[in-house]
Amino acid sequence: MEDLERIVDLDNEIFAKLMETILLDRKIPHILRTYHDSAYDGLFAFSQGWGCIEASPEYREEIIQIYDELKKQQKQE
């Protein structure tokens, strides 16, 4: 995978794992990157969020659509 960019920021590990499961099911190449740094005991996760999904720009719209649908479902619960 070349030319990766940050597509969406993730608030927590549970949401991140759910996103990753869907992306794997749809065979969308991506990297799930956490901001947790054990040296600082997760300090950056508080200011930047839990992590992000990085992928090729060609998958940007599809990933954002998945993210938005999950967020909408989360608000309905």
Q: pLDDT tens digits, residue range 6-27? A: 999 998 999 999 999 999 999 9
Q: pLDDT tens digits, residue range 40-58? A: 555 554 456 789 999 999 9
Residue partners of 20: CB distance under 8 A and separation at least 6 = 30, 32, 53
In-domain check, residue 33: yes
Whole-angstrom Cα distance, residue 12 to residue 16? 6
Predicted structure pTM score: 0.81
Domain count, the chain: 1
In-domain check, residue 72: no
Whole-angstrom Cα distance, residue 38 to residue 36? 6
Which secondary-structure segment (H or E) carries 61?
Answer: helix 60-76
For the chain, the residue count is: 77
Structural domain for 37, as ranges: 5-60
In-domain check, residue 75: no
In-domain check, residue 65: no
Instruction: Specify whether the CB–CB gap between 9 and 32 falls below 8 A.
Output: no
